[in-house]
A and B are shown apart, each in its own frame.
Chain A
Amino acid sequence: MPGMLYADRIGHTFYMPDGALPALHNVTFAVAPCSLVCVVGASGCGKSTLLRILAGLLKPSAGRALLDGSPIEGPSPRVGMVFQKANLMPWRTVERNLTLPLELNGVPRAEREARAAALIELVGLEGFAGAYPAELSGGMAQRVAIARALIYRPGVLLLDEPFGALDALTRERLGSELLRIWQASGNTVVMVTHSIQEAIFLADRVIVLSGRPGEIVLNLEVPLPRPRALDVVHSAGFGALSARVRAAIGA
């Protein structure tokens, strides 16, 4: 069941030995069920911090995050998280990496394997169930990470620059893949990215954070029709949208 996220005046300050470091300030936005929202902003503006708060990994110092109306107080099986690095366990095969979340929850083996098989197909890794992470390319590893986040059947999928470490071509391909997976699994998705083009191509809504502390400077709806083909990036509408996002980041 797709979830609805709400960030309610979230602020966060890190207290370091050499002073306070405000990372986020008064961040408020809503993510509609089944929608895909991208968060962009300069490096260090608090994007990962925001995502960690939404994932329940970090308690914000101000405001709160809500999932379907109730406060997020810790990690929940309703929220799947994909980190910047694939974060796979090198000693587990692809299949056993996928089923780790289920193992931790005592799901019986037969069901674990069935779900893993379905997800391996969904992310297009047929034939690699028994491979170890060291035998995968960066893009393949990231697909495994996405599949692992989906295995709980979470309502919300959070992705922190999942394609950040990949080359441009693989990145484009995986972006289209993500759209396909998103449509097939019907999740609510929040994704952090560095790339304006990627954000507009993927998202229903693009949220732009300013430099430190991160504050929302633009919450832009992307009215481009779906399904989107890769060449949508050359359209006039796309150009206008990316000009607005770029201006907001620069401001």
Chain B
Amino acid sequence: MPWRWLVSPLVALALLGLWYGVTAADLLPAFMLPAPGDVFEAFYEALEAGSLPYHIGVTLQEVLLGLASGLGVALSLGYLLAKFPLFERILAPYIVGLQAVPIVAIAPLLIIWFGSGTQSKIITCALIVFFPMLINTVVGMRQVEPDLRDLMRALNATRWQTFRYLEVPAALPVLLGGLKVSATLSVIGAVVGEFVGANAGLGFMINSARSVFDTPTVYVAVFTLTLMALALYGLVGSLERRLLAWQRRREQPGSFAS
């Protein structure tokens, strides 16, 4: 189906057309929905002035560091929980409790504790990323086939070898699924932190533009954030395609030559 590759761009084009139509017909006031041209102009200006690259850099740094630390903690804790049921029985109520606390609600606290610099955003982001990744790690480790564990035991594998040759590859599909969710959540986490109190970043850019009724710049920041989340998602997707190539080796049922 060669036309399948055209569908997504066509949808985007149609939406752009609709947007243009709505603004050209003056259906909405410009402070709510500026014309595509105005947004593009704002984009160009922010790019020229260097403010857009700067804020992108700040947010991206928060996202990547937050994602990395959230993943690191979730992966190691998840492994321990899956490996030692006693550990899980003791910790599970606290972990679920932690998840029940709305991150948005404690973001101000984090700012009070860690200041309005990048550190508090990294922590907000890590907290948001932590839970889905933790759950996926536990599920991934638990679903390792007991028969394959027997095999590793019959082969006299060490604990490290079992981890490296069996547990990691077996859990990888679930881990990457969690990473996909986490990647998009991480952007939300950083922006939430920036909304509450910051002096840089795309969330800060939205806030300051809004306060001077510069709606086109708000749109620029929103689009940039969306693209950032999409790019991260795509990155994980391509990682998935590379690492899980073996999953796609089986011919799909009912697929004729395309």
> In the complex, how many angstroms separate the beta carbon of A65 from the nearest chain B beta carbon?
15
Q: How far is the CA of A202 from the CA of B244 in the complex (A)?
A: 40
Cα–Cα distance between A219 and B143 once the two chains are bound (Å): 41
Majority-rule SS of A interface residues? loop
Cross-chain contact B165 with A103 (CB below 8 angstroms): yes
Q: Which chain A positions have C-beta within 8 A of B18?
A: none
Stretch touching chain A among B1-9, B38-46, B100-108, B151-159: B151-159
B148 CB, nearest partner CB in chain A, Å = 6
Query: Would A104 and B147 count as touching, CB distance under 8 A?
Result: no
Collect the chain B residues with CB atoms within 8 Å of residue A134's CB. Answer: 246, 249-250
Chain B contact residues, CB within 8 Å of chain A: 145, 147-148, 150-151, 153-157, 161, 165-166, 169-170, 172, 244, 246-247, 249-250
Do A89 and B150 touch across chains, with their CB atoms under 8 A apart? no
Report A's interface with B, CB cutoff 8 A.
Answer: 55-57, 74-77, 81, 83, 85, 87, 89-92, 100-101, 103-104, 131-132, 134-135
Residues of A within 8 A of B250 (CB): 132, 134-135
B229 smallest CB distance to A (angstroms): 29
Q: A104 touching B150 by the CB < 8 A rule?
A: no
- 10 A-B pairs with C-beta separation under 8 A: A74-B156, A76-B156, A83-B150, A87-B148, A91-B170, A100-B155, A101-B155, A104-B155, A132-B250, A134-B250
A87 with B249: CB separation less than 8 A: no
Docked pose: A92 CA to B247 CA in angstroms: 11
Q: What's the least CB distance linking B199 to chain A, in Å?
A: 47
Residues of A contacting B147 with CB < 8 Å?
A: 83, 85, 87
- Considering only CB atoms, which chain A residue lies closest to B243 in the complex? A91
Contact B155 A75 (CB under 8 A): yes
